[in-house]
Amino acid sequence: EPRNSMVRGAFVVVEGVDRAGKTTQVQRLCSKLYALGHNIKTIRFPDRVSTIGQMIGSYLQNETNMDDHVVHLLFSANRWEKAKWIEETLAKGYTIICDRYYYSGMVYSAAKNNPALSLEWAKQPDIGLPKPDVVIFLDLEPWQAEQRGGYGEEKYEKRELQQRVRELYLQLLNAPGGGMKVINAGDSMDAVEERIWNEVLPWVEMVEGGTYGAKVG
């Protein structure tokens, strides 16, 4: 149980290109925060467990095909399914570390080179979701990503698409109100871990003491 149920937790999102080491870094961040006595929950998107998540999973594994808009809206719906849980969990005093969020939704869909699917269009269904307090972007150049073992079998694990994904993330960073902290994920895991820690800890400490309820605008 949280130490103080009147205190809200922080909502921390970790974004990044494929192969940037997100999963490892999310685990390390969680265990360090936990060791300091913070109440932590983790979540990842897509959450492949729900019915919608299973539809997304089979699309990513090339078992089913869907119109680009349809799968985009499923990814968004998959976040909306968890929106209430996120708000309630934060309100109970848990800090949430979230592996991918609507930024992934925007850039992966817009990277498909479907002219009907702009970044701006892609953001619309996510407006109103709980807003993160801090967003970390783990950046890795495509050649570095490929040195880490090449891409696998999933739908989006292709060089061209990954390059566009990275460019779109960088566009989001430079957009007004972007608010993502870029961390070069090409360095050692320990160095990346330390940089994430230095960015995230102050936010967690600050938010756990304050009030909050902003929405994605």
State the residues that interact with ligand TMP by CB under 6 A. 18, 45-46, 60, 75, 100, 104-105, 108, 156
Query: Closest approach of Cβ 13 to ligand TMP, in Å?
Result: 10
Strand partners, 44: 99
| Radius of gyration from C-alpha coordinates of the chain | 17
Taking the least distance from each CB to ligand TMP, the nearer of 39 and 104 is 104
DSSP state string for 161-215: HHHHHHHHHHHHHHSTT--EEEEETTS-HHHHHHHHHHHHHHHHHHHTTS----B
**Biggest CA pair distance of the chain:** 50
- Closest approach, Cβ 4 to ligand TMP, in A, equals 32
Q: Scanning the structure block, which residue is given the tokens 């495509």?
A: 142
Closest distance of CB 46 from ligand TMP, Å: 5
Minimum Å gap between C-beta 145 and ligand TMP is 12
Give least dist CB 94 to ligand TMP, A. 21
Compare residues 38 and 82 and give the one whose CB is closer to ligand TMP: 82
Instruction: Read off the tokens for 29.
Output: 């961040």
Work out the burial of residue 181: count CB atoms within 10 Å of its CB; fewer than 13 is exposed, 13-18 middle, 19 or more buried.
Answer: middle
- Residue 191, C-beta contacts closer than 8 angstroms, at least 6 positions apart: none
Q: Considering the complex, state which of residue 75 and residue 137 has its C-beta at the smaller distance from ligand TMP.
A: 75
> How many residues in the chain?
217
Our CB check for ligand TMP shows the closer of 108 and 169 to be: 108
Q: Which is nearer to ligand TMP, 94 or 169 (CB)?
A: 169
